[in-house]
Structure 1
Amino acid sequence: MKMTTVFRRAFAAVLVGSVALTASAAQAQDRPLRLVLNVGLQTLDPIAGPSFVTRNFSYMVFDTLVSVDSKGEYRPQMLDNWRISDDGLTYTFTLRDGLEFSDGAPVTAEDCVASLKRWGARDSLGRRLMAATKEMRVADAKTFVLELARPFGLVIEALGKPSVQVPFIMPARLAANTPPTTPVAEVVGSGPFLFLRDQWIPGERTVFVRNPRYRPRAEPADGLAGGKVARVQRVEFVNMTDPGLRAAAIQNGEVDYLEYAPIDYIPLIQRNRNLVLAKARGGAEIVGGISINHHQPPFDNVLIRRAVQQVLDRREIIAAEGVPADFARPDCVSVYACGTFYASDVGTEPVRENGIARAKALLQQAGYAGQRVVFLQPADSALINPIGLVMLERLKQAGFNLDVQTADWSSHAQRWIQRQPLAQGGWSLLPVVYTGFDLANPLSNPGIGYNCTGNQPWGYCDGAMTPVIERFEAEHDPARRREIAGELQQLSVSHANFPLAGQFASPAVWRAELKGVIDFGFPVLWNIQRDGS
């Protein structure tokens, strides 16, 4: 009898402890995962809004036909498979079973064709794929065919493009009826999370919950590929403009994940056992640059663009970011991100040693007479603001007549895609940052891929580059493509299409209690769960 009483008490204690552990796990699972982005979210359409923050948003709610894994290999995502004809001109794509949009409609081949056409009218790589395409047609509800008019060696790479602008799939009723420069009226995707529009505060907070209709792939998550399992119920994107506030918030556990660790605080973060600093490099690194408006004077003159190119001292710009030495690549002169396949020094002689004196000589040779240059400075971006401050000071030293206009990134981004004259709100120069993923391939590289496309904001057009791009597009052999990429690099540098300002790592940081974080180079928020959940 006594033993029975003891057993009952022990069992009750175990039961209470089990309930407490279960409740604790449930609380951990239900607690929102809070991510701090570099800038606030304003645009919800990944095709109309070519920015990292919109890309991050879109990976939450949309999905892709093809995805790239951690090894850089392209794998089916929404697709079950693809088949390529013997002559390499016809691709047949079949969707996997069970795909649904968030409104309950099934994902069909018609949705895929409409989405790819809209993306292909906007993105640099997409435009080139569409130009090489004879026809895209629906074969049945789950199958569509892409028939090429001429050889194009990067079809799968185009469909699996990881960063801006990504060929996400949305319903045909939206994609087919919305111009690519106009945001779609609804956010309807087939991704792992749902966007709660009624809780969205533009530029401040964005809220998501798990999508109950999403059916992940069976294989483990790997990079952007594999099973996108949403293991937390709710995710919040929040905006904190002050780097010190971000650092305090992640250390105190008020937020879980920073898209970019505040660079000044990296040594402190490295010493904190409760925090994990991302290790991804190469394509995951940041590359600074300056977007030039080629459409109007004075930058329709190549000599004046080359003067801007000479102003960009990589060491000084990276130093302004405060990047630790082992996080910086001041010697990287390639227009392709160093650490990626096409990176080389071919044709980079003009930018290996930059200088103000050379910039002044080029301006004198060009006959620059002090025309006004509107310099847009995004003050709210912790990454871009320091780069821009160094740029504008050196531009002044070289003799440019600058009209510096300071605002938040979202406001400048809207002006960036316009062609207004300076007197009507136009612009001349804008400091920007890209990831190495965006610069890794010539056809997606901002200084090459938009050549003679007329697409904003990249208004450059070099006739000598066009046939070289065509050779690159048609080439299937990777080694030969690398040689052609070197030719394209030489032309891009000579034409000063998109002068670069240095490559460095600005890694993400997250709380150590988060398990399953995919260290890819930008926030991937599926597969994550809290320790104990």
Structure 2
Amino acid sequence: MERTMRMVLPFTKLRSALAGALLAATALVAPAEAQQAQRPIRLVLNVGLQVLDPIAGPSFVTRNFAYMVFDTLVSMDSQGRFRPQMLDNWRTSDDGLTWTFTLRDGLEFSDGAPVTAEDCVASLRRWGQRDSLGRRLMAATQEMRVVDAKTFVLQLSRPFGLVLEALGKPSVQVPFIMPARIAANTPPTTPVTEVVGSGPFLFLRDQWIPGERTVFVRNPRYRPRDEPADGLAGGKVPRAERVEFINMGDPGLRAAAIQAGEVDYLEYAPIDYIRNFQRNRNLVLSRARGGAEIAGGLSINHRQPPFDNVQVRRAVQQIMSRADIIAAEGVPPEFSQPDCQSVYVCGTFYASETGTEPMRTTSIERARELLRQSGYNGERVVFLQPGDSALINPIGLVMIDRLRQAGFNLDVQTSDWSSHASRWIQHRPLDQGGWSLIPVIYTGFDLGNPLTNPGIGYNCTGNQPWGYCNEAMTPVIERFEREANAERRREIAGELQRMSIEQANFPISGQFASAAVWRAELRGVIDFGFPVMWNLERAAR
């Protein structure tokens, strides 16, 4: 037997005052003839786009870019269910070891070539060398083989209970499909030089200003699914003729621009302006919660001293006063959860209090004592501070202050996120441009599953920046992988959470919602937790 699934106040004066700055910085002031319903939809990203490859670049901005130009085999809908996207169907054998996937008819890449099963296999193999969940899926795979142009088989060597969760992974790093000629010939740590996808929009490379502006137009070759759009699933209809991603580093400028109608959508609403936005009938704030919420944390380089010492890492964990760090963001009370201690993000399936005792009461005094016990002797700690990120910069500043109070000898190096991100993924000594600590943020989509959680999923893989390896965690992860029953997986996830906190793999600094905001005249907005540009259009005035 086989089972088959188918599936506020007028801003006239403010606008006038800022018009020159907007024009000079981002060329946002449109000519009079562009003031139509079809003028470009402009999205302001949290940081500028530098890396175009969603497999090589583990950042939200690259993920946002990739959803415009690439597509996925499986997608998550608004209820967290996994549904066919590029696929027409999948079939599983009774023992769950053989998965047969069939593509939809008529799929094409932007260069005119048809999407084939060979492209899917090559793309999954490349992704599976890089992503935490992908690596584990590949480790459980005996082979992937092409049956014909539209069909391929994933043959498991042992039970793996999260095949669809892997293929439908919604956030970094997503298994987007590329042509085999690119995926098979580009190492996963090397960014691709040619952007060819089968997604709803086309990337205009000749108009790209790295870190400043990215331009897309509708992809005439794209064939959306017939069913309505639902989260990341369903019909991805590109209704806007042109979309622009732009970078505006100053939060006040962002707030002024969206209130004046110079931009249409902010990936993250500047927190200091949320109350004003709530009173402005021309603006809409995102209501997505749970997996869409954010948790800040501190990425630790386990590979080199002093953080190869667990006592030093536990000292870092003790400086994480969630209430103080979230307060630095200025988040209104209804947007924050300072009492959440789960590494999975409260409001997601695997969230629990198991093993969270070390995080329930944190203190500088305890951090100092742990440092003393560790033998730390004032070794230099390179702290990479992303000064251009409106979300990361405030929490990083609090971390810096508390780390210094605890006794760490910090060398704070402030730059833009993209520059730091390129250093983050390198394994270099400190005197050769290496790093020790970097504040980061993740969504519940990234943190919500042990195999995608950065404090668990990369254990002993030698992959990504983290470098941690707890041998005792490995068999527990393997049990989680094999378990098909969701409730039993939840119990194992709690055990993994306890082990991750014990080793201070990835100290969490607090959970909050950083709402997106968009102009009320936009229609078809999908409130998913990060910007989705298909199905989106501006109402005619």
Question: What residue number does 1:418 align with?
Answer: 426
- Give, as a single letter, the amino acid of the residue that structure 1 aligns with 2:471: G
Asked whether the equivalents of residues 364 and 402 of structure 2 are also in contact (C-alpha less than 8 Å), the reply is: yes
Kindly state the Cα deviation for residue 458 of structure 1 after the two structures are TM-superposed.
Answer: 1.6
CA contact (8 A) 2:38 2:538 kept: no
Say if 1:311 and 1:356, in contact at 8 Å, map to a contact too: yes
Amino acid at match of 1:86: D
Shift of 1:436: 1.0
Indicate the residue corresponding to 1:380 in structure 2.
Answer: 388
- Equivalent residue in structure 2 for 1:100, among 108, 111, 125: 108
Residue of structure 2 equivalent to 1:18: none
The aligned residue for residue 361 of structure 2 is: 353
Partner of 2:36, secondary structure, is helix
Determine the structure 2 residue equivalent to 1:192.
200
Measured in 2, the distance between the counterparts of 1:456 and 1:165 equals 11
Deviation of the 1:286 alpha carbon: 1.0
Q: Is the 8 A contact 1:67 1:162 kept in 2?
A: yes
Query: Does residue 220 in structure 1 map to residue 217 in structure 2?
Result: no
Equivalence for 2:493: 485
**Which amino acid counterpart does residue 348 of structure 1 have in structure 2?**
T
Q: 2:58 aligns with which of 32, 50, 54?
A: 50
State the shift of 1:89 in Å.
0.2
Q: CA deviation at 1:358?
A: 0.5
**Cα distance, 1:531 vs structure 2:** 1.3
Is the CA contact 2:37–2:539 (under 8 Å) kept in the aligned structure 1?
no
Name the SS for the 1:57 alignment partner.
helix
Q: Amino acid of the residue matched to residue 113 of structure 2? A: A
Q: Which residue of 2 aligns with 1:299?
A: 307
Matched, 1:461 2:479: no
Mapped partners of 1:528, 1:25: distance in 2: 21
Contact 1:25 1:532 in 2 (8 A): no
Task: Tell which structure's C-alpha radius of gyration is larger.
Answer: 1
Q: Give the match for residue 25 of structure 2.
A: none
Give the SS at the match of 1:315.
helix
Q: CA deviation at 1:520?
A: 0.1
User: Using the alignment, how far apart are the partners of 1:136 and 1:26 within structure 2?
Assistant: 49
- Equivalent position to 2:246, from 210, 218, 238: 238
Q: Offset at 1:456?
A: 2.1
SS of residue paired to 1:446: coil
Gaps of 5+ in 2: 1-31
Q: CA deviation at 1:26?
A: 10
Per the alignment, residue 123 of structure 1 pairs with 131
CA distance in 1, matches of 2:196, 2:528: 25
Quote the offset at 1:335 in angstroms. Answer: 0.5
Greater CA deviation, 25-34 or 334-343?
A: 25-34
Residue of structure 2 aligned with 1:36, choices 22, 40, 44: 44
Task: Report the number of matched residues.
Answer: 510
The alpha-carbon deviation at position 532 of structure 1 amounts to 2.5
Q: Does residue 1:65 correspond to 2:73, yes or no? A: yes
Query: Quick check: 1:259 aligned with 2:273?
Result: no
**1:474 and 2:493 equivalent?**
no
Residue number in structure 1 paired with 2:343: 335
Aligned AA for 2:107? L
Counterpart among 244, 250, 256 of residue 248 in structure 1:
256
Which residue of 1 is the match for residue 217 of structure 2? 209
Q: Which one-letter code corresponds to 2:292 in the other structure?
A: A
Matched, 1:140 2:163: no
The residue aligned with 2:12 is none
RMSD in angstroms over aligned alpha carbons? Answer: 1.1
Identity %: 81
Deviation at residue 27 of structure 1 after TM alignment: 6.4
Alpha-carbon distance in 1 for matches of 2:86, 2:67: 13
Q: Does 1:79 align with 2:90?
A: no
Paired residues of 2:55 and 2:130 also in contact (CA < 8 A): yes
Secondary structure, aligned partner of 1:186? coil
Q: Is the 8 A contact 1:29 1:232 kept in 2?
A: no
Alignment partners' CA distance in 1, 2:230 and 2:203? 24
Asked if structure 2 preserves the Cα contact closer than 8 Å seen for 1:35 and 1:256, the reply is: yes
Alignment-derived partner of residue 439 in structure 1: 447
CA distance in structure 2 between the aligned counterparts of 1:419 and 1:115, rounded to whole angstroms = 25
The alpha-carbon distance between structure 1 residues 26 and 422, as it changes in their structure 2 partners (threshold 3 A), is closer
| Secondary structure at the counterpart of residue 178 of structure 1 | coil
TM-score by length of 1: 0.95
Write out the 4+ residue segments of structure 1 that deviate beyond 2 Å after TM superposition.
Answer: 24-30
Looking at structure 1, the residues matched to 62 and 319 of structure 2 have their Cα atoms a distance apart, in angstroms, of: 31
